[in-house]
Amino acid sequence: MYQKLFILLIFLSPYSLAQKAVEHVYSPDVYSIQLFNPETNDETPFFKMGSQFILSFDLLNKGYERIYYSVKHYDRNWEDDNLFDSEYIIGYSMPQIYEYKNSFNTSQNYTHYTLEFPNKDLQLKISGNYLLTIYNNARKPIFTRKISFYENIAEIGISYERYSSSKNPNISQRVTVQALLPNDNNSILSQQISLCIIQNNNWNNSQCNISPQFINRNSFTFGQLTNAFEGGNEFFSFDTKNISVPGYGTEKIIEENNVYSALLYPIISYPLDYTYNPDINGAYYFRRFDLNLERDARNEGDYCHINFFVSLANPLEGKDLYVVGLFNNYELSDTNKMSYNEALRGYEKSIYLKQGYYNYTIATVDQKNGKISLSEIPGSFWQTENLYQGLLYYKPFGGTYDALIGYGEIRAARQ
């Protein structure tokens, strides 16, 4: 019996055993992953059905190699819905990425890859959640990203208000979402739909499976008091488009053997008051500008060691600190985990990043319960500008998959 089970497991692919979609970078050679929407000119994992996004990334210290990709459909909870490929894609199941450029005029050698999707090799049949997986020449995964394609069936309106309570004084923004369906869609019942609210493109900071609070014919309102988020603070920023000269947020540039390091201004923890500082809600853009010329950052952008520092008189007991933003997909790993420096009295971390303009913040993780906070170090204020995104999922009785029938967003502004 055990021998038969062992043989069965050998022939099962690693993805047939996986039940939950996971975003992760598996290869240490992968840098500068970016999902870009050319229609809205911003970074996001949410795209309209029929539109096209651009995925780009670098493989450092490597020449050209064949790179492949695949997409797999998941349900609203990012669990395997067991659909066959033929039910959600048209084309090849694992096509190749053909567009690439070798780095030019940079101290760091790399190969830059670009994928425009959907394309002639692979198109989507249905809306919903997808896991995009990129493979190397050996057909082994090098990284994954969650993406979602939505239909414009429902009109999504989002608002927010200042909110706090005695139990949760740091919860400072409550989000209300209204979904308006066409009159000919009265057959959609409240039990068949649910809402997911996301803050600043961060799946780790989302609230999902929200049922309608009020229903008025074809209008569904999601206004629960529990739809609340820490306001946090504006993201910190730095600019390295010219790595030989200190840019915004950079205190000093150090060059040694044509290798550059940028020392950012220290972060002062626990601010008492809110200070307005415009940001791009955690996003980042690659740029290279030198000798009064704007270079093509895709393959001419160089790399630089970015040194982050959080000033704290004593280490936080039972807490780990991480540098996070959309540039690393808010992932918590050793590559962005900070360490305490007794001599300098603060947490520090050096991260190797491509030239450009970046937003970032500091996350704390409780070592006992794993609770993540993006507000403990930078503070939390109701005035903070945030991007809130609402996704409406629908699955009819007897249906085989969760469709994404509506998407909306609001960029919370100061009031």
- State the average pLDDT for the chain: 91
pLDDT of 4 = 45
Bond preceding residue 378 cis, omega within 30 of 0: no
CATH superfamily name and code, 21-150: Immunoglobulins (2.60.40.10)
pLDDT tens for each residue of 169-200: 667 899 999 999 987 666 677 779 999 999 99
Q: Quote the Cα angle for 318-320-323, to 5°.
A: 160
pLDDT band at 8, cuts 50/70/90? very low
Residue 349 confidence (pLDDT): 98
Alpha helices by DSSP H, listed for 69-197, are 85-88
How confident is residue 411, by pLDDT bands cut at 50, 70 and 90? Answer: confident
Question: d(Cα 390, Cα 408) in Å, to the nearest integer?
Answer: 5
pTM passes above 0.95: no
Identity of the amino acid at 1: M
pLDDT tens for 156-166 read 999 988 887 77
Domain 21-150 matches domain 155-232+384-411 at the CATH topology level: yes
Instruction: Flag whether pLDDT at 299 surpasses 70.
Output: yes
pLDDT at 262: 97
Residue boundaries of the structural domains of the chain = 21-150, 155-232+384-411, 236-373
Q: Are 150 and 48 spatial neighbours (Cβ–Cβ below 8 Å)?
A: yes
Query: In angstroms, what CA-CA distances link 83 with 19, 87, 126, 176, 353?
Result: 13, 6, 11, 33, 38
Average pLDDT over residues 11-32: 76
CA 197/CA 207 separation, integer angstroms: 5
Strand ranges for 249-370 from DSSP E: 250-256, 259-264, 267-268, 284-286, 289-290, 293-294, 303-311, 319-324, 339-341, 346-354, 356-366
- Torsion angles phi and psi, residue 65, rounded to 5: -140, 155
Q: Where are the alpha helices (DSSP H) in 235-387?
A: 297-300
Candidate CATH numbers 1.10.287, 1.10.10, 3.40.50, 2.60.40; the one for domain 155-232+384-411: 2.60.40
Single-letter residue type at 234: E
- Other Cβ atoms less than 10 A from the Cβ of 135: the count is 19
At 172 the pLDDT is 86
